[in-house]
Structure formats: structure tokens, C-alpha cells
Structure 1
Amino acid sequence: MSIWRGKDPLILASQSRARQMLLANAGLRCDAIAADIDERAVQKASGLSAPGDIAGLLAREKALAVSSQMPGRFVVGADQTLALGSRLFSKPAGRTQAADQLRALASGTHELHSAVAVAQGGKILFADVGVARMTMRRLGDSEIEAYLDQAGEAVTTSVGAYQLEGLGVHLFERIEGDHFTILGLPLLQLLAFLRSENLLAV
């Protein structure tokens, strides 16, 4: 018997393997369909500057973009922003930019804002934003270079040049926040919504 009670599998409006794995590990049947939106253009047009607001907007827009193509299906959109004070970070373009990001983040505390939204029939049914505070160790250039050597191309796939579930764990001295929020999907909040819609057996 499946935990998922929906007639059709849930749709994740993303090709993120981490998010797909989180949903699969929770026993949710899921199809992944990337949302075809220009995230930076949407962000710029919105005029928003608060990282949580930006993550929430992009999660909703991703869910709506895929929902409009898949009427009747429940579509999950998600997004994550990284902020150090008022500075927002994007995925590093290469090793040099990854090193620059790590130097900026070292010895300080940054925030990860992870947003989730659920759409059906082109309407948002649920949205939430979780926040985690991440304190990075003091890192010298030799440690940063050693980390980059070991992590390889993976550093360009995540904002901040790290994946906490992998080698990125070595960079931190303190973490405050929900594990799933850190990985980019406020899963407990999402599951609570799906349960309220009688879509889960547990």
C-alpha cells in the first residue's frame, strides 16, 4: 500500500535531485517537470529584495508554470535563497567564484530561506517559507582550496558552493534550523498540507 493517496503522482516543478530524493524517501510518488521560467527576470520584475519573499515568489511561479500545463495535478514548486546580511548569493559560475563565496561566508552566519508552494489548476493552494541559520567555520585559503579539490564540479550546483548532505558539512561549526529547509524543501510543512487534503495515508 502506498502512502500517497492521490489519483496521479505528485509533480515536482524542478529537476533538483535533492528535492526528488526528499519526496521519494518520504514515500511520495512524484514526477519531475522543470518549470520554464526566467528566475532572475521574475525576481527583477517583482521589485522584491527580502530573501524570503524572493524564494516564496519563485516557488509560487514555478508551481503555477507547471500547473497551467497539467490541469488537475498537484504541483509542488520550491526555491531557496542564501543571504549574508543584505547580500544575496547565486550559484557560483565556476571554481573562482565558488572560492570567493566561501571566503565571504567563512566565520559568519548566513541564512537559507527555503520556500515551497503547491498549485492545482493554475491556483496556489498552499505556500510556506522556512529559515535556517548557518554559521561557517573560519577557513583559510588552503582549506578552501582543499575543499574545492575534493568537491569538484558539485560546488557549482548549489548556492554558497556547498551541499550540507555531502562534503559541505566540513565547513560548518553551528547550524540552527530544520534539516529539510537546509536541503531546499520545507518538507514537514508540505506533508502537513498534503495530509490536510487527505492525500496521505499516514
Structure 2
Amino acid sequence: MALKLVLASSSPRREKLLKLMGLKFTIVPSKIDESVYTNLPPRDMVQELARAKASEVGELVEESCVIAADTVVVKGNKILGKPSSHEEAIDMLSGLQGEKHTVLTGLAVLSTENGKILVDYDKTDVYMREMDKQEIISYVNTGEPMDKAGSYAIQGLGGIFVERIKGSYFTVMGLPIHKLSLMLKEFSIDVI
């Protein structure tokens, strides 16, 4: 019997990307406390969070292949998560403007049939253009940055601030589909 796909996320961006890949899946969001993992280096943190999310949701579903991911923005040695206020979003964007930062997305795929789990991550460098204070405030007032790591959406209006990237656009969106397709192959799930 073929495994059912389950997305362990409530992210509309991840849902959209799985649909873009032509996959049929259900959504069972993870309720993992992400703060437990903040003491880890960013690369380890995103992978361990993805693993924990997949494992948690894997306990709730049967005969499934669970896909989980976690994304962070790193500037220098500081991890930028989702902003908790408009002021924090303004501060984050002020720190990112005119600079390079890195987006890391951890990815886990788990078979509930045999417990096999694959965990990986991908990294993309993002170069932002200079922004003036009023642009930042106007963008934050749209509400778009409020549920995004680093306070911007590359696939939305925030994309106007991105000069270039080195790596995968989809990693910045929160789901490195090139890696996911290879991981799914390991579970005999072909995208194409």
C-alpha cells in the first residue's frame, strides 16, 4: 500500500509548494515547543526541529510519510525568527537592509510504516537592497512580515527588497523542494 503524505505544518507557503509539486497530502500541524531548540547552532536547530515535528505528527497518523520543515534567518551569529511586534519587525528589517543574511531550512521525512527518517537542511544567502525607514514602516504596516522568519516574504511584497540570492528560492520560502523530491524518492514516492 502506498504511504499517504502528511504535511506537519500550518504554513500556507509550504502547502502551496507541495501543491506546486503535484502532491496529494493532508495537513496535521505540529505543536512542538520550538524554544527548546534555540541553544543549538542554526544548522542543527532547523534539522532537529524538523525531526521533532515529523516525529510528533508521526505518532498521530498511520501508514503515512510525514514531511516537516523549519526555517530560520541568520544574520551574523544572531537567529531571527518571526517578529513578535511591529517594532521588532522594523528592527529586523533595519538590520537586514543593505546586507547579506542566510536562510536555513531543515527538512525531515518520516515513514510511520517502518520508522525510517531522513533529515537534511539547505542554505541560501540573501542580499537585501538598501531601504529607507519609511519603506520599512510601510511594509511592516501591510502585515505581511508578521508570520515570517526575518520579517519578510520573498514570494510577496517583501521580494522588492531582495537584490539577489545565492542558493534556492524555495529554501527561502520554507521548503527546499529539490531536496524534498530526492528524499521522497528514498520512500518510493516519485514527484515526476
TM-score normalised by structure 2 residue count: 0.93
Contact 1:116 1:185 in 2 (8 A): yes
Aligned to 1:7: 2
Could you tell me how far 1:194 is from its partner in structure 2?
1.6
Q: What amino acid is aligned across from residue 77 of structure 1 in structure 2?
A: A
Q: For 1:102 and 1:144, locate their aligned partners in 2 and report how far apart those are by CA, in whole Å.
A: 7
Aligned to 2:127: 135
TM-score normalised by structure 1 residue count: 0.88
Please state if 1:125 is matched with 2:117: yes
Q: 1:12 to 1:91 in 2, by over 3 A?
A: same
Q: What amino acid is aligned across from residue 53 of structure 1 in structure 2?
A: D
How many residues matched? 191
Q: For 2:80 and 2:139, locate their aligned partners in 1 and report how far apart those are by CA, in whole Å.
A: 19
| Structural mapping, 1:75-94, within 5 Å | 75-94=66-85
Identity of aligned residues (%): 30
| Structural mapping, 1:47-126, within 5 Å | 47-48=39-40, 50-121=41-112, 123-126=115-118
Unaligned residue ranges in structure 2 (runs of 5+): none
Could you tell me how far 1:201 is from its partner in structure 2?
6.2
Unaligned residue ranges in structure 1 (runs of 5+): 1-5
**CA displacement 1:1-39 (0-9 Å, x = unmatched):** xxxxx7353001011110011001111011111112111
| Root-mean-square deviation (Å) | 1.6
Q: What amino acid is aligned across from residue 34 of structure 2 in structure 1?
A: E
Could you tell me how far 1:94 is from its partner in structure 2?
2.0
**CA displacement 1:159-187 (0-9 Å, x = unmatched):** 11111111011112221111211111111
Contact 1:76 1:117 in 2 (8 A): yes
- The match for 1:28 among 23, 26, 29 is 23
Q: Secondary structure at the match of 2:174?
A: coil
